[in-house]
Structure 1
């Protein structure tokens, strides 16, 4: 019996109202029931997004006959008696600005496949075709999907994992093409901007080729960059042979903003190896109905966050100091969150589904980012390998070997322990202390790694006597409200709360600029008790809080004055000097 075949047709009769219409034609599936489902999340973005909430008017037909179709779970519809040829029609609303959700308007449509296309339950393996009916004045379709052999504006996906990893930009985007590392690349710019095509092409070519050197090959024949330009924007999401980026349309001529954009390009392109192919076993094949937990995001996102800026340095876009300032930002981000004493990098990875994408006023007290902490662990690994092997090996060698072993040879995801074993085998270096640190809240002494390459990590705030209550405030309509209370701070212990309105301190009414509070902090004494008058849910009370020394850290990476010649040589190798 022939395998079922699925053909999607998407059209836009009301783009101004932010709708896309989908027809799902299924042939050769007659064994009842036919259950079709919408994914609840999209690969690369670890949050249950409940895409099915935007689905409307699901109907099923056999020829011209309507077939009974009923919703049986939050994201699943059942056709009890499918026909040889069953057609399912539905509409999807899309009006959210992000790299992972549908955005449809009168000018264009960005289609996130996981938010758009249903699949037959338990048949992710089926191939499908997607045909796009272009509205008038829309001229281009940008996607990593290959064109199907038949049909205008029709594309082919070998299976639904590939379909869900290939977004579509449909409209009149500015498109140009270039070759890098033997791969054809398409750049699709949406929303205008002051970008320089020639400069972007030249700079991104360098990034692509530098990353290809690390991994030893480029696994694609074509790759698509889709960039959404906004008044202010950012962010990105990786895909198998494409990426979606967010940028500020008029910031391309600002040197710092342009370099940050190149860093974003480097990050998402690095993912075509690290995540999309080399991956923990939990990250594919996927279950699209629920969370797919892994403790390994500190490797996948953390290593990528380490390499993105390092690639920019290797390409010559960052000076040494610019690179070191970008790297030390990871340390400042982690060490100024009390959550680093609560959550390890591995636990942050595992908890991504419930914490990373859902920050609240207490998040800094309870969690860290596996991006930042993973980058810190990555630099420790890189420097430890570099120094132990006298510059003959580094983390690059580990990644290439892991890619060759787990993806190319064995075509599977890895267990973290076997990734560590492979790393130690390839380098001949004991890496257990660093891998253990990924699962611990005990911090490494990072200077044991930086010092050996002629650099040191120093806290510029050490010894300062700056006072604080441990709160962050915001001005709302001329009133001052607490927006964050730091764990174990004066405010935390005294009982000041988020959303308390600050009225006065030591009998002095606070102005909207908070100058009285600033004066008290500048002229007060350690352990001095101050009287803070607040309004909490309309009730006024006085809270007595002691002034304490600020524990805010400001880290910097600098050359070690007494570095030996050998240490400097290794440092030069690390930083491509």
Structure 2
């Protein structure tokens, strides 16, 4: 009998946040045992999340309903000995975590992260499977990127890599479709929100067309945008022909937040080429049981973080000032973390499994984000190519050529030196300094790039004489507490700790609004000492702190006052000012 794998999803207790999974396995009785596994992480979200912790009530039965031996042999593996010709593995999955990468189920809807829902048979990741969704009560819609077969909400996955990369939104989500350049795009809005379908369709269409121009072709004939609308929501996760987004339900009627949402759309849509297809060699085929290390996230996520806002600029949604503010944010985010002196963009990529998604009170002192630092390298590369080729080439040409070479022609991931070599071949521009900088904590002068196109990076806080403790405060059960202490700051040197409750400064009571802190610090001089009363582990302690001028940066990107006509022309090309 031919081997087959079929899943059925049901919802007997959605109000308690469960999905019931029946995995029907046929034809695997030609071996002494089969190991059934659940992935421990989700592609695109580089953290071992241990999805199997949510699996309950697992039991295996033969075709007659008799229980057969099924032993758990590791955290995510169940071994079925002497498998029958036909067998069923039944289990329930608990889903009650609000994020774009984890399942959430209640009596109104179900979002199913596929890596935390479906199991695979060890050695058979390339095997096809089908999934049938049995709708709960008055639910009437299934939104997914899988191919639908038949009329009973059954879907086909040619292999488990595709199944694990295709989430399910089930319930009564608001959906509508539109055609962009011959490709059907569908929006699925989950939860109440104040969006305008006509405006969203118009703006997303602009984004898709701009990105199609960069890449030259689109690999999909269908693409799904699922947006979860919450009181407060943000973030997204890319998939092969879909994306899951999170937004505030109030964001669509507010200009700034709406544009930020569109930037998120641009970011995740860009990933359908860059990450899902053009990728470092380590990111596919995947090992779903352990970390997949790469130093290349600064390229795939950092470059995407550069392009997301640039796409919105090219669409005419951001004006020049808005775009430059967004770009300056990348620099401020990096330079206001002391960790930029200790971790490179490449090291940040490699350590994402233990640092990026597990921040603690000391993270800002030891680490940066490859998103921000990668964007800084990307803009440098784009500008340098534009300047050296007199505007004939830019980073767009590199991205398109890399996609065609590594994905369309060779269908494989790239090594970083291969990506650099291809970039230099396509543009004729040497890029050693930028690629070396990505692997180093030594800083580079970014104005050597911005100046080429008539702009400059300016620290507006450079001449300010403002004293700082170097701490971030927050509230804990009504108490004002220190959340973070910056390396080499006044608080760091004097021994203030994260977790300390701040009681008073120079005999002024410290409230959560920070007014007393602001008052004392704004009237103090560098080198002056202040007395801070704290509670640490329930014990009162007074600490003397010698103040140091704030090291915080406040960068902006602005036009050079004495820019030449050539610099201004190149700047217009960079910011697409000549095509709007």
TM range (shorter): over 0.9
Tell me, what secondary structure is at the counterpart of 2:147?
coil
After TM superposition, give the deviation of residue 508 of structure 1 in Å: 3.8
Contact conserved, 1:131 with 1:151, CA < 8 A, in 2? no
Residue equivalent to 1:315: 315
Q: Does 1:137 align with 2:135?
A: no
- Alignment of structure 1 residues 48-447 onto 2, 5 Å: 48-64=48-64, 65-148=66-149, 150=150, 152-447=152-447
Residue equivalent to 1:12: 11
Contact conserved, 1:460 with 1:555, CA < 8 A, in 2? yes
Deviates more, 1:371-380 or 1:56-65: 56-65
- Cα 1:537–1:165 change in 2 (3 A) is same
- Cα 1:84–1:295 change in 2 (3 A) is same
After TM superposition, give the deviation of residue 511 of structure 1 in Å: 4.3
- Cα 1:63–1:235 change in 2 (3 A) is same
Tell me, what secondary structure is at the counterpart of 1:211?
helix
Q: Any unmatched runs of 5+ in structure 1?
A: none
- Alignment of structure 1 residues 556-575 onto 2, 5 Å: 556-575=556-575
After TM superposition, give the deviation of residue 253 of structure 1 in Å: 1.1
Cα RMSD between the aligned structures? Answer: 1.1
After TM superposition, give the deviation of residue 192 of structure 1 in Å: 2.0
Contact conserved, 1:142 with 1:188, CA < 8 A, in 2? yes
- Cα 1:512–1:397 change in 2 (3 A) is closer
Question: 2: distance between equivalents of 1:436 and 1:262?
Answer: 33
Question: 1: distance between equivalents of 2:532 and 2:247?
Answer: 42
Question: 2: distance between equivalents of 1:325 and 1:449?
Answer: 17
Question: 2: distance between equivalents of 1:513 and 1:235?
Answer: 28
After TM superposition, give the deviation of residue 259 of structure 1 in Å: 0.5
Contact conserved, 2:447 with 2:456, CA < 8 A, in 1? yes
Residue equivalent to 2:480: 480
Residue equivalent to 2:36: 36
After TM superposition, give the deviation of residue 468 of structure 1 in Å: 0.8
After TM superposition, give the deviation of residue 507 of structure 1 in Å: 3.7
Deviation per residue, 1:393-432 (Å, 9 max, x gap)? 0000000000000000000000111010000000010001
Residue equivalent to 1:548: 548
After TM superposition, give the deviation of residue 522 of structure 1 in Å: 1.4
Question: 2: distance between equivalents of 1:178 and 1:462?
Answer: 49
Contact conserved, 2:474 with 2:512, CA < 8 A, in 1? no
After TM superposition, give the deviation of residue 122 of structure 1 in Å: 1.9
Question: 1: distance between equivalents of 2:412 and 2:322?
Answer: 38
- Cα 1:171–1:345 change in 2 (3 A) is same
Contact conserved, 2:142 with 2:168, CA < 8 A, in 1? yes
Tell me, what secondary structure is at the counterpart of 1:187?
strand
- Cα 1:314–1:514 change in 2 (3 A) is closer
Q: Any unmatched runs of 5+ in structure 2?
A: none
Tell me, what secondary structure is at the counterpart of 1:260?
helix
Question: 2: distance between equivalents of 1:246 and 1:475?
Answer: 26
After TM superposition, give the deviation of residue 275 of structure 1 in Å: 0.2
What is the TM-score when the length of structure 1 is the normalising length? 0.98
Contact conserved, 2:309 with 2:323, CA < 8 A, in 1? yes
Contact conserved, 1:181 with 1:218, CA < 8 A, in 2? no
After TM superposition, give the deviation of residue 512 of structure 1 in Å: 4.6
Deviates more, 1:58-67 or 1:259-268: 58-67
Question: 2: distance between equivalents of 1:17 and 1:516?
Answer: 47
Q: Does 1:26 align with 2:25?
A: yes
Tell me, what secondary structure is at the counterpart of 2:12?
coil
Deviation per residue, 1:292-314 (Å, 9 max, x gap)? 01100000100000000000000
Question: 1: distance between equivalents of 2:183 and 2:511?
Answer: 60
Tell me, what secondary structure is at the counterpart of 1:147?
strand
After TM superposition, give the deviation of residue 513 of structure 1 in Å: 3.6
Contact conserved, 2:39 with 2:51, CA < 8 A, in 1? yes
After TM superposition, give the deviation of residue 505 of structure 1 in Å: 2.4
- Cα 1:562–1:355 change in 2 (3 A) is same
After TM superposition, give the deviation of residue 61 of structure 1 in Å: 1.2
